[in-house]
A and B are shown apart, each in its own frame.
Chain A
Amino acid sequence: MSANNFDMPQSKAVVWHDLPDPRDPNAPGGARTQLVLERWSWEHILDKHVLPGREPWGDILSLDTFRNLRRSKSPANFGDPMVADAIARLESQVRQTLQRPLVLLLEVRRLGQSRPNPSRVWMLVLPSGAVAYVHERKKGNRLATCYFPAYSLVNSNRGFRWRRVASSLVLRYAIFDTQRSALLLPTPDTVRFSPRKGPVRELHSAIRFVTPASWGFCPDLEGCPWRGRLGEWSAAETATARSRRRLKPRRPRATDEDEQELNS
């Protein structure tokens, strides 16, 4: 884990240096990049996700730090060693994700608004099962938010949680091909038209899973189908061989019998 650098004036931001750049075709090798965590983003993460206590932030920050942050009167003070420790732990998770890598890159263009250039967004699935969003900026890539999705809150098993979160993002950005019975990797020219509130719409383009194999896609198969087998991730869990529990024998159900009759 590298040390945080509080090198913005008055500790209004933390910069994480020397991270693998997911935009590089050779990621996690190749180019390096840095991320900025601005204080207001940290405040947003605290207020909306950490302090309410519903999300399992103890899995990222350690239970002690999590409890201390919730008790602290100044949890957004970057000068506080306890806050610095929390941010270092978050950085460690981000670094592990970029190292795997398990990143989804896309461009978001909001129609009906005057800004012509698209926003470039990175979605990072952390080993804990949280999702971090990074916005590319000219001044530096900025960590915009980080949270545990609602559906993941019930999963206390961390190994299962990150796979559920990754699977869910695949479902949102891949395309299920009924002919092949598989979710397929979006092609570079895939553009998603995303309706939004009222007359405002978004276009999602340049959708890229970095790297497809780490997301569970099979690059060796035609169309690069997704098979949902994301494998192990040492940062998330330690796999141990266990015996498998048996369920009760399944009693034939009316629908099964009907199907058997139809088949015969």
Chain B
Amino acid sequence: MKVPASNFDPTGWRYELESALEAPELAAFDTTEAPGPEAAAAAFRVALCLGYCRLFGVELPADIDGTLPAREAMAAAEELIAHINVLVQEARELPSRWDTAPPGTEQEYCADLLQACMDSWAAFLAISEAHEDCVIQREPEAQEFDRVLDRLLDALDHLDDTLREPEIISLLATLAGSALLENWRRMLGMPDRGFVPWWLDGTLERESQRIEAESLAAWRQLQALGKVPAPKRPADLPTPSTIQRHSAAAILDIPVDVALAAEPADEAPPVPAILQWASPDGRWIARLSRPRQVPAGGRLPLEFLDSAWQPAVDLCGQPVWLAGQQETIDAQARASFDVQSLQNALPAADQPLTLEVGKERTEWQAIQSE
């Protein structure tokens, strides 16, 4: 069910805008004196909240909606320029911060920077809307506003250029595939949206794939030279009790008796879930599309992919066990399993669904299901 536009405030930005408009510091713009830093910060906060409402399509009631007055908008722009200068410094320090960050916090620095980019974009939207209005209405501040906006655009370009320097973007690319980017895209209504900034247009994903491809090439080169460390001993691998596993319910819930039904019972998608696993070294992914009903032939295909999401043809010929049922990975990096045999092998829905690959039957780890 679609949420009525008037109630659409999934990220609370309307609420934040209401709060921002209550800042007493904004009263400084009612005088002829130059606004102080507190007033400029309050104006920036209004620009940020208003810009996010525009970005995410939040409908505003008449008493809240509007355009930033020119003086507030110029002060917000100056504040944003100062902020961008700090961000450029933060971005330049990202590589050294990454190297010295406590484990588990490195990516947070990258996410923080992209969050700052989103904020800059949102605030810029509100500021440029105010600029357009100021120019069209031929307000006395128009010329001065032109100059401020030019400087803001230069600052934004400078930030973009800095973030896209090879050493920095290679770290930002670690966010490719993250929930953060995916959530932003969904909230912005992509892919239908016209303009999207570079951090959401696939640039980071392409950079990530490039790095992965380079890493793999280097790995293979080392393998060829015999310089790759010995394979992990079984004792080094995750113990069975620590491995994440999917539940057998995913297989047992597939209704076998409607396998050859001509039409699905409703208009639900034919594949309600995709189960995924990752190899212990993180090089390979396995994906099993769990259908709503058994496909013709009664077999489920399990795909194997490499880090670039291409068929993992290097695994061709390897044995694979799903719930203990053995098959072999074919030349298209697939193995298909008989649903009835899988269901017979799984005693109960709360039992684990294991995937083992290779002659040593290495168990792979369950990862986020789609």
List residues of A whose CB falls within 8 A of some B CB.
Answer: 41, 44, 48, 54, 108-109, 111-112, 114, 116-119, 121, 131, 133, 135, 144-145, 149-151, 153-157, 159-160, 163, 167-168, 171-176, 178-183, 190-203, 205, 216, 225-230, 242-251, 253
Nearest B residue to A251, CB-CB: B133
Nearest A residue to B68, CB-CB: A247
Stretch at the interface among B209-217, B251-259, B339-347: B209-217
State whether the Cβ of B358 lies closer than 8 Å to any Cβ in chain A: no
Q: Closest CB-CB distance, A86 to chain B, in whole Å?
A: 20
Interface positions of B from 77 to 133, Cβ below 8 Å from A? 79-80, 82-83, 86-87, 89-90, 97, 100-105, 107-109, 111-113, 115-116, 118-119, 129-130, 133
Nearest A residue to B50, CB-CB: A247
- Distance in angstroms between the alpha carbons of A171 and B111 in the assembled complex: 10
List residues of B whose CB falls within 8 A of some A CB.
Answer: 1-3, 8-13, 15-16, 18-24, 26-27, 37-38, 41-42, 44-46, 50, 63-69, 79-80, 82-83, 86-87, 89-90, 97, 100-105, 107-109, 111-113, 115-116, 118-119, 129-130, 133, 136-137, 170-171, 174, 176-180, 182-184, 186-187, 208, 211-212, 215-216, 219, 232, 236-239, 242, 244, 276, 278-283, 307, 365-369
Q: Are A150 and B186 in contact (CB under 8 A)?
A: no
Contacts A172-B179, A226-B12 aside, 11 further interface pairs with beta carbons under 8 A come to A150-B109, A154-B83, A156-B41, A172-B178, A179-B1, A181-B3, A193-B278, A194-B174, A199-B219, A245-B21, A250-B66
Partner of A114, one of B67, B129, B236: B236
Q: Closest CB-CB distance, B18 to chain A, in whole Å?
A: 7
Nearest B residue to A118, CB-CB: B242
Nearest B residue to A201, CB-CB: B282
Q: Are B90 and A150 in contact (CB under 8 A)?
A: yes
Q: Kindly list chain B residues whose C-beta atoms are within 8 Å of the C-beta of A192.
A: 178-179, 368
With A228-B11, A248-B69: A114-B232 Cβ-Cβ less than 8 Å: yes
Q: Kindly list chain B residues whose C-beta atoms are within 8 Å of the C-beta of A253.
A: 129
Q: Kindly list chain A residues whose C-beta atoms are within 8 Å of the C-beta of B219.
A: 199
Q: Are B115 and A191 in contact (CB under 8 A)?
A: no
- Distance in angstroms between the alpha carbons of A147 and B171 in the assembled complex: 19
- Distance in angstroms between the alpha carbons of A174 and B178 in the assembled complex: 11
Q: Would you list the 8 A-B pairs with minimal beta carbon distance, nearest first?
A: A228-B12, A247-B66, A111-B282, A151-B116, A144-B102, A114-B236, A201-B282, A149-B112
- Distance in angstroms between the alpha carbons of A251 and B38 in the assembled complex: 28
Q: Kindly list chain A residues whose C-beta atoms are within 8 Å of the C-beta of B183.
A: 171-172, 174-176, 183
With A156-B41, A245-B26, A248-B133: A183-B367 Cβ-Cβ less than 8 Å: no
Q: Are A246 and B174 in contact (CB under 8 A)?
A: no
Partner of A203, one of B26, B136, B244: B244
Q: Kindly list chain B residues whose C-beta atoms are within 8 Å of the C-beta of A111.
A: 278-282, 365
Q: Are A112 and B280 in contact (CB under 8 A)?
A: yes
Q: Kindly list chain B residues whose C-beta atoms are within 8 Å of the C-beta of A196.
A: 107, 174
Q: Kindly list chain B residues whose C-beta atoms are within 8 Å of the C-beta of A195.
A: 174, 176-178, 208
Partner of A121, one of B23, B104, B109, B307: B104
Nearest B residue to A177, CB-CB: B186
- Distance in angstroms between the alpha carbons of A154 and B47 in the assembled complex: 12
- Distance in angstroms between the alpha carbons of A182 and B113 in the assembled complex: 24
Q: Kindly list chain B residues whose C-beta atoms are within 8 Å of the C-beta of A205.
A: 244
Q: Closest CB-CB distance, A198 to chain B, in whole Å?
A: 4
Q: Are B10 and A150 in contact (CB under 8 A)?
A: no
Q: Are A172 and B102 in contact (CB under 8 A)?
A: no
Q: Are B278 and A154 in contact (CB under 8 A)?
A: no
Nearest A residue to B42, CB-CB: A157
